[in-house]
């Protein structure tokens, strides 16, 4: 694990990661399955236009998928998010999201929890791109919140 | 002949940022010292409200504020009583659209516009459709957003009561044939509303010669401060039109029975305290441009644009969407790179451009892409800056665009 974390400090590796997730995004197709929640994100910026779907059952995120037109940062950060939060409990996911948002705020964060998502660690320096790096993450947060409210 | 190096000395931003290539002039323009001084002087030497005070400083501001109409009247070749100050081109277009809906149009009347329009020349009309039952129709355009007059003639059916078009489109810089549009529209009694935001700063716009009924534009796109829009309207039309805003300084008298009488002339449309220093400084910007000469500005920009296009066309990684237009911004993408990523890379090389859909969200149906990079020039830009931009464009790649984050 520590070798892996060390590898994730190499800018060249992180650049490749972003490139790879942009060219070949993971879980990049939507489903017609009615049990999925769905959020269309397009209002935060007038360019990016993505839809994120999730299957959250019994407090566990069983699946996340997405599709749409977006920049490298939006696409790769969302793709990485679908890998990272899949099969996590809602509580685990919320803790990871919090760390991610801290990173995008330029605050302290735990790289061990964020794994590949640390590729976005320098985005906070370019204020106009923070919304790109958080668009997919905001979508899943919204669906987690909805799933919690629907159980109340 | 314009002396660009001398002109550049007038712009403190260019001195403060020698590293910057500012090619985002379609969004807003840099300000010359005389405009900055006019704003500053108002705050440091002659602050007061307008049209309300009996003391010397207040009278000075009345003279400067109302005198600003004269500068714009000279620019447009109209009467100063036909110049209204609003807060931006958007506010001007909203006043025009609402005024038409409220006073001139009836349900079923048609507004003819184009798919290349900025949001501010479409959404106000969409609302008139909701509120007054007017219909919005589009004249077909070619793939570089040029309006074809034979298509226009076909679209100009008897129900068309108003035509609303940009003289220069904000994304592709297509110059529309306003004089012919006016002649044809007026022949059947339709009004002509022109969005001049991307035209007035760059070329001579003579409202008499073009026979325009209403014209809207912004001061900040012509070296003036933000927060000042200009609305030109033919006097008889302005007299017949109601103001959107009601309040101070625009009424002559009112009674407790809810009866009121409004002022005549431009004041009717300028409720509340206006952006006084902005208007005074806008007049300075207007005079600054007239001193250089709008024809000279136009000729210089056209030549610079031609050079820019020629250099960009040599690059294998760049696709240009408006190569045949002779004027206005260059609209392009780097092949395989999303527009915002490419603009981010250019920013890392100190080139300021705009990416996205440029508030013209239905234009993609005309040019076949959702988002582009727009590099827009002004008269203070130079060939050296074009060279720097072109050399940065040559280096746009996915690797480099991601590289800016590391």
Range list of H helices, B188-275: 207-210, 235-240
Contact in structure between B237 and B103 (CB atoms under 8 Å):
no
What pLDDT does residue B1 have?
Answer: 76
Of B351, B346, B335, B352, whose CA–CA distance to B403 is shortest?
A: B346
Is the distance from CB of A116 to CB of A80 less than 8 angstroms? yes
Distance, CA of B374 to CA of B360 (rounded, Å): 12
Residues B22 and B57 grouped into a single domain:
no
Q: Do A19 and B398 touch (CB under 8 A)?
A: yes
**Residues of B with Cβ-Cβ distance to A120 under 8 angstroms:** 405
Q: Give the per-residue pLDDT at B78.
A: 98
Chain centre distance of CA B146:
18
Does the distance separating the beta carbons of B339 and A129 come in below 8 Å?
no
Distance CA B67, CA B70 (A): 5
**What's the start-to-end Cα distance of chain A, in Å?**
38
pLDDT of residue A113: 95
Q: The tokens 């403060």 sit on which residue?
A: B16
Alpha-carbon separation of residue B196 from B20, B118, B352, B359 (angstroms): 28, 11, 23, 16
In residues, how long is chain A? 152
Could you tell me the two tokens for A64? Answer: 């996340």
Q: What is the pLDDT of residue B114?
A: 94
Burial class, A150, CB count within 10 angstroms (exposed 0-12 / middle 13-18 / buried 19+): exposed
Q: Which chain B residues have any C-beta within 8 angstroms of a chain A C-beta? A: 338-341, 344, 355-357, 359, 361, 370-371, 398-399, 401-406
pLDDT by position in tens, chain B (length 406): 799 999 999 999 999 999 999 999 999 999 999 999 999 999 999 999 999 888 999 999 999 999 999 999 999 999 999 999 999 999 999 999 999 999 999 999 999 999 989 999 999 999 999 999 999 999 998 888 899 999 999 999 999 999 999 999 988 888 999 999 999 999 999 999 999 999 999 999 999 999 999 999 999 999 999 999 999 999 999 999 999 999 988 988 999 999 999 999 999 999 999 999 999 999 999 999 999 999 999 999 999 999 999 999 999 999 999 999 888 999 999 999 999 999 999 999 999 999 987 666 677 777 777 789 999 999 999 999 999 999 999 999 999 999 999 8
Q: How far is A123 from chain B (nearest CA, A)?
A: 6
The predicted structure's pLDDT at residue B171:
85
Residue A122 and residue B403: Cβ atoms within 8 Å? Answer: no
CB distance B208 to B78 below 8 Å: yes
* Cβ–Cβ < 8 Å for B230, B214: no
Q: Give me the number of domains chain B comprises.
A: 2
Where exactly are the structural domains of chain A?
3-149
Burial (Cβ within 10 Å: 0-12, 13-18, ≥19) of residue B56: exposed
Domain stop point among B266, B291, B316: B291
Position of tokens 């620019």?
B75
What chain B residue is nearest to A123 in terms of C-alpha separation?
Answer: B405
**Active-site residue, selected from the candidate residues B223, B286, B359, B393:** B359
Statement to judge: residues B306 and B204 lie in one domain: no
Quick check: A10 contacting B, CB < 8 Å? no
Task: Check whether residue B275 and residue B358 sit in a common domain.
Answer: no
Structural domain for B376, as ranges:
4-26+293-403
Residue B18 sits in a domain of what CATH number? 3.90.1150.10
- pLDDT tens for A113-136 read 999 999 999 999 888 899 999 999
- Can you give the pLDDT at residue A1? 56
pLDDT in the model for residue B379: 98
Same domain? For B16 and B57 the reply is no
Beta partners for residue A53, in sequence order: A38, A65
Between chains, do A15 and B359 touch, taking CB under 8 Å as contact? Answer: no
B249 shares a domain with B301? no
Nearest to B341 among A46, A71, A122 (CB): A71
CATH code: domain of residue B249 = 3.40.640.10
- Minimum-distance CB partner of A69 among B355, B370, B403: B370
Mutate one of B27, B119, B338 to test the A interface: name it (highest A CB count within 10 A).
B338
Number of H helices, E strands in chain A: 6, 3
A46: chain B residues, CB-CB within 8 Å:
356-357, 359, 361
Which CA distances in Å does B165 have to A39, B116, B119, B191, B196?
36, 9, 12, 11, 9
Q: How far is A142 from chain B (nearest CA, A)?
A: 25
Beta carbons of B338 and A72 less than 8 Å apart: yes
Rounded CA separation A102/A108 (Å)? 6
Ramachandran sector of residue A95 (left: φ over 0; alpha: ψ -120 to 50; beta: rest)? alpha
Residue B184 sits in the same domain as residue B244: yes
Contact yes or no for A47 and B357 at CB 8 A: yes
Class of A3-149 in CATH: alpha beta
Domain boundary among B239, B268, B291: B291
Q: Is B335 helix (H, G, I), strand (E, B) or coil?
A: coil
B41 and B151 part of one domain: yes
Q: Are B61 and B277 in contact (CB under 8 A)?
A: no
* Phi, psi of A151, deg, nearest 5: -90, -15
Are B285 and B142 contained in the same domain? yes
**H or E element at residue B351:** strand B351-352
Chain B partners within 8 Å of A19 (Cβ): 398-399, 402
List of residues 6+ apart from A28 with CB closer than 8 A: A65, A66, A67, A79
User: Would you state the pLDDT for residue B173?
Assistant: 87
ipTM for this model: 0.84
Taking every pair of Cα atoms in chain B, the longest distance, rounded to a whole number of angstroms, is 72
pLDDT along chain A (152 residues), means of 10: 81 93 95 94 73 95 94 95 97 97 96 95 90 94 92 58
Residue B389 appears among annotated catalytic residues: no
User: Measuring CA to CA, how many Å separate B241 from each of B20, B100, B235, B236?
Assistant: 45, 7, 10, 9
pLDDT for the residue numbered B293: 97
Q: What single DSSP character describes residue B103?
A: I
Nearest CA to A19 out of A90, A79, A108 is that of A79
What pLDDT does B370 receive? 75
- Residues B250, B338 within the same domain: no
């Amino acid at each position: 694990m520590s070798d892996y974390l060390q590898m994730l400090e190499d800018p060249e590796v992180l650049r490749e990661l972003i490139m790879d997730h942009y060219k070949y995004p993971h879980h990049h197709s939507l489903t017609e399955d009615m049990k999925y929640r769905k959020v269309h994100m397009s209002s935060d910026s007038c360019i990016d236009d993505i839809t994120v779907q999730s299957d959250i059952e019994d407090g566990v995120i069983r699946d996340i998928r997405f599709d749409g037109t977006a920049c490298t940062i939006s696409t790769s950060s969302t793709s990485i998010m679908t890998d990272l939060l899949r099969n996590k409990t809602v509580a685990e996911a919320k803790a990871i999201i919090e760390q991610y948002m801290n990173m995008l705020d330029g605050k302290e964060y735990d790289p061990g929890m964020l794994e590949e998502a640390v590729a976005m660690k320098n985005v906070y320096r370019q204020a106009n791109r923070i919304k790109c790096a958080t668009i997919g993450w905001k979508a899943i947060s919204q669906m987690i919140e909805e799933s919690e409210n629907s159980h109340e | 002949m314009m002396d660009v190096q001398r002109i550049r000395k007038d712009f403190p931003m260019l001195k403060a940022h020698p590293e910057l290539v500012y090619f985002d002039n379609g969004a807003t323009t840099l300000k010359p010292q005389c405009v900055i001084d006019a704003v500053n002087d108002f705050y440091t030497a002659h602050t007061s409200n307008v049209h309300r005070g009996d003391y010397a400083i207040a009278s000075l501001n009345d003279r400067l504020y109302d005198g600003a109409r004269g500068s714009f009247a000279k620019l447009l070749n109209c009467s100063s009583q036909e110049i209204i100050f609003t807060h931006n081109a958007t506010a001007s277009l909203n006043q025009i659209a609402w005024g038409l809906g409220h006073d001139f149009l009836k349900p079923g009347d048609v507004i003819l516009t184009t798919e290349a329009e900025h949001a501010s020349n479409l959404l106000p009309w969409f609302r008139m459709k909701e509120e007054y039952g007017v219909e919005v129709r589009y004249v077909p355009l070619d793939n570089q957003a040029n309006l074809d007059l034979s298509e226009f003639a076909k679209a100009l059916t008897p129900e068309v009561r108003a035509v609303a078009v940009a003289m220069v489109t904000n994304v592709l810089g297509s110059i529309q044939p306003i004089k012919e549009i006016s002649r044809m529209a007026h022949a059947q009694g339709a009004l002509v509303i022109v969005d001049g935001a991307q035209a007035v700063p760059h070329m001579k716009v003579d409202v008499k010669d073009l026979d325009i009924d209403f014209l809207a534009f912004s001061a900040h796109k012509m070296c003036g401060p933000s927060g000042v829009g200009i609305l030109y309207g033919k006097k008889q039309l302005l007299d017949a039109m109601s103001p959107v805003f009601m309040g101070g300084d625009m009424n002559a008298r009112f009674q407790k029975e809810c009866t009121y009488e409004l002022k005549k002339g431009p004041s009717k449309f300028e409720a509340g305290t206006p952006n006084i220093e902005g208007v005074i400084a806008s007049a300075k910007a207007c005079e600054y441009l007239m001193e250089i000469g709008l024809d000279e500005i136009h000729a210089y920009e056209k030549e610079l644009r031609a050079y820019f296009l020629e250099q960009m066309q040599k690059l294998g990684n760049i696709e240009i969407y408006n190569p045949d237009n002779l004027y206005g911004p260059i609209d392009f993408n780097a092949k395989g790179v999303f527009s915002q990523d490419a603009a981010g890379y250019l920013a890392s090389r100190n080139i300021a451009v705009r990416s996205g859909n440029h508030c013209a969200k239905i234009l993609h149906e005309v040019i076949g892409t959702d988002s582009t990079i727009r590099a827009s020039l002004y008269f203070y830009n130079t060939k050296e800056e074009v060279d720097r931009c072109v050399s940065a464009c040559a280096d746009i790649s996915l690797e480099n665009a991601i590289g800016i984050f590391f």
